[in-house]
Amino acid sequence: SQKIEQNSEALNIQEGKTATLTCNYTNYSPAYLQWYRQDPGRGPVFLLLIRENEKEKRKERLKVTFDTTLKQSLFHITASQPADSATYLCALEEYRFSSGSARQLTFGSGTQLTVLP
């Protein structure tokens, strides 16, 4: 069966360190992988998208890697700040229909990150 697994435990790190979150998947062949941030009481907010033929993507202090052989994505936040504390969700995008018009996201359960001052 298809499965997406993120860090099973909440992650606590010290301010200024690099946070690394993992997303592993099985029985998927995703065209894209996306990362979202979710704060308590709010909807997820898109952060980064990486395509299957890309190895790495960067945006400011964020970096995402995508290894389709290992079936894994790593999400890094460098120089972490307390404001980075949130739940981070990875999501796989697949074409569900031959027409390609239905692109759907399947989300992992998220990793709760706390950056300690």
Contact set with other proteins (CB under 8 A): 4, 31-32, 34, 41-46, 49, 89, 91, 93, 96-97, 101-110
What's the closest the beta carbon of residue 43 comes to other proteins, in angstroms? 3
DSSP E strand boundaries for 1-117: 3-6, 11-14, 19-26, 32-38, 45-51, 56-59, 62-67, 72-77, 86-95, 103-107, 111-116
Nearer to other proteins, 12 or 18 (CB): 12
Contact 84, 19 (CB under 8 A): yes
Nearer to other proteins, 18 or 29 (CB): 29
What's the closest the beta carbon of residue 38 comes to other proteins, in angstroms? 8
**What tokens does 16 get?**
């200024």
Nearer to other proteins, 63 or 110 (CB): 110
